[in-house]
Structure 1
Amino acid sequence: MRNQAKRGGRRPGFTLVELLVVIGIIALLISILLPSLSRAREAGNRTKCLSNLRQLGMAFTMYCNDNKQQYPRPAGGVAGGLPEDWVHWEAARKLEDSRIAPYISRPMNPEVLRCPSDTLESHKTAYKYSYSVNFNICRISGNKTLKTTQVRSPSDKILIVEESSETVDDGCWAWQAELGRGKNVISARHDRQYEDSTDFTKGRANVAFCDGHAEFISRSDSFDARYWDPLKN
């Protein structure tokens, strides 16, 4: 009877010291795991961003095939916009009228135009997308844009970039031109410690090339004429 009574008695609860030890262990595990989880999430976002750029690059290729090998215009914030802009982003225009829209989806899915790591609220203009196109390829010369046949080494020439949220202001990446005032730079949001857009030497971003493929490249490479000048061998 005594043994049964003893077994049926109430077990003592945890002491305060034991609870504090458990809480401390949990906090330590969280502090160890959070950076790894953050890196894994960012790696997933980078992959999704790269997939977006591949899709956009293929859409440009199909557009050019249907339009005598000419690229669409760069959506450079011209008053009222131009019908042949690759993306119609101004409030008064419909995204579905973007020249590459028929080659992506109907209706146009705006998420294809956004990097999942891009904090859109940090954009300083009405342009709420993450990607912009190389002005040197989509610029207007003699009332026409460049043709695909004019681009030398298309697998090396940047067509679309993931631009920094600190500098993106329209659909046109034109750091080399007066239009860009030397300030349009590709993003380093996937290397968060280097997002400072005034540092042209550090950080990496996703870009799509003229042959349709996409890569994760260094910011410094984007300033090399071998990659941004379509007429350079």
Structure 2
Amino acid sequence: MRRTRGFTLIELLIVVAIIAILAAILFPVFARARDSARRTACLAHEKQIVMASLMYCQDYDECLPVPPYGFWAACCWGSIRWRDTVYPYSKNAQVWWCPSDTQRPNSMAPDGRVCETSYDWSDCLMTVANTVRGPGVPIIGHSLAEVTYPSQKILFWEGLKNHLDRNGTWWGNLGFVDGHAKFIGQDSIAPSFYGGIDFNWTKDGVGGRDIN
């Protein structure tokens, strides 16, 4: 009767080591592929929202959307509530959320209010240039004709918090006034009127540019 030879401990350890090495190589690749797919889906969402925003402009004498409530009516400087204005032109609740978000639709924001979208509307589209508004200051609407650099002026950007991460590695999907959406890195972003990076406070307001 023939006896079958089993694996030795050393052989098993070698197999386990090979599997561990392959996992270490492949898992980051799979993670990057997943993140890339989510980023692409998020960009597609933004393109739909940009087109919905421009459809709103066509119906309202080329005026840019503004939130239906006051400046401080919601988290993120009131820019969250702009979804209520543009939503009738998209009619798709899913496009208002980035697949990479850990917070879900209508989840509670850190300030105790409810966030309705992953994307923040630029506050400078609702203010006088180079100013910061506060409670009680009315929203000021602007027209498309006032936008000097539509391909470099951001309508909205990806992010559930108000201000962008300033650690030098920030990136994200951005929607622009001219109708396109694009993945942009921090090194391409122009400084705001106070010198930092903040699309709420674009230098020269609607007449300025957010991208170098």
TM-score after normalising by structure 1: 0.66
Amino acid at match of 2:43: L
Distance 1:77 1:15 in 2: 69
Task: Write the distance in 2 (CA, Å) between the matches of 1:143 and 1:35.
Answer: 46
Question: What number of residue pairs does the alignment pair up?
Answer: 180
Question: Which residue pairs with 2:178 in the alignment?
Answer: 211
Alignment of 1:1-233 (within 5 A): 9-74=2-67, 76-78=71-73, 85-87=81-83, 98-105=84-91, 108-109=92-93, 111-120=94-103, 123-125=109-111, 126-127=114-115, 129-139=117-127, 144-163=140-159, 165=160, 167-168=161-162, 184-185=163-164, 197-199=165-167, 201-224=168-191, 228=202, 229-232=205-208
* Displacement of 1:86: 2.3
Change in Cα spacing, 1:20 to 1:202, as seen in structure 2 (3 Å) is closer
Deviation at 1:37, TM superposition (A): 1.3
Post-superposition CA distance 1:66-124 (Å, at most 9, x none) = 11111221464427xx9xx522xxxxxxxxxx22122212xx41x31222222227952
Deviation at 1:60, TM superposition (A): 0.3
Find the aligned partners of 1:37 and 1:123 in 2 and give their Cα distance. Answer: 31
State the distance in 1 between where 2:47 and 2:14 align.
50
On the 8 A contact 1:54/1:208 being kept in 2, the answer is yes
Q: Percent sequence identity over matched residues?
A: 33
For 1:100, the aligned partner's letter is V
In the TM superposition, what whole-angstrom CA distance separates every residue of 1:12-63 from its partner, at most 9, and x where no partner exists? 2322222221111111100011111111111111111111111111110001
| Secondary structure of residue in 2 paired with 1:202 | coil
Determine the C-alpha separation between the residues in 1 that align with 2:143 and 2:32: 40
Structure 1: runs of 5+ lacking an equivalent: 1-5, 88-97, 169-183, 186-196
- Contact 1:120 / 1:129 at 8 angstroms: preserved in 2? no
Kindly provide the CA deviation profile for residues 140-163 of structure 1, in whole angstroms up to 9, marking residues without a partner as x: 897651111111121111111112
**Distance in 2 between the 1:131 and 1:222 partners?**
17
Q: Are the counterparts in 2 of residues 206 and 217 from structure 1 also a CA contact under 8 Å? A: yes
SS in 2 for 1:161: strand
- Give, in whole Å, the separation in 2 of the partners of 1:143 and 1:14: 75
Distance 2:6 2:116 in 1: 56
